[in-house]
Amino acid sequence: MGASPGNGNKFVSEINVTPFVDVMLVLLIIFMVATPMMSQGLDVDLPQTKQVAALPSESDHLVLTVRRDGKIFLDEYAVDNIENLEGYLASLVKDKNKTLFLQADKSVPYGLVVDVMGHIKGAGIEKLGVVAEKPENGTPGTISKSK
């Protein structure tokens, strides 16, 4: 705050907002670039099937993920013990009337997937969607013959 020239000893009462606007624009650009990188989800190699429908886009569903290493995630939050899974599912899915989808890596042992499905049933969840992806070329399970 300095004296303005030509007005004697009066002070300037205006705030210079240019530095503030510059900082806000830089932060906006940083968040626009960083946000898509943070919401990629978990890396799972899904099994392929011929008939696949898209997941609903509304936010009233949760995804239970079983990764290749056997770790279980409810959305992006790790489930520390499979025995605690029923409590999490009952409080987050059943009580809030949300839909649950199960996505498991195709290399996960079948026994682990059945065990997880048993815990889902034990939590009282009757409707369960299974996530898979559509094959890019050919049908799943077919053997391509080479000459």
Q: What average pLDDT is seen over the chain?
A: 77
Q: Write out pLDDT tens, residues 82-105.
A: 888 888 888 888 777 788 889 888
124 close to 90: Cβ distance less than 8 angstroms:
yes
DSSP state of 48: B
Q: Give the count of domains, the chain.
A: 1
Q: Write out pLDDT tens, residues 22-41.
A: 999 999 999 888 877 665 55
* Of the candidates 51, 43, 41, 52, the residue with the CA atom closest to the CA atom of residue 106: 43
Note the pLDDT of residue 29: 92
Residues paired with residue 62 on neighbouring β-strands, in sequence order: 100
The CATH number that applies at residue 79 is 3.30.420.270
Q: Is residue 26 part of a domain?
A: no
Q: Is residue 6 part of a domain?
A: no
pTM: 0.58
Q: Is residue 16 part of a domain?
A: no
Q: Is residue 30 part of a domain?
A: no
Note the pLDDT of residue 39: 54
Q: Which domain holds residue 70?
A: 42-142
Q: Is residue 22 part of a domain?
A: no
Least confident stretch, 1-5, 56-60, 111-115: 1-5
82 close to 115: Cβ distance less than 8 angstroms:
yes
Q: Is residue 130 part of a domain?
A: yes
Q: Is residue 35 part of a domain?
A: no
* Of the candidates 99, 103, 73, 102, the residue with the CA atom closest to the CA atom of residue 88: 73
Q: Is residue 7 part of a domain?
A: no
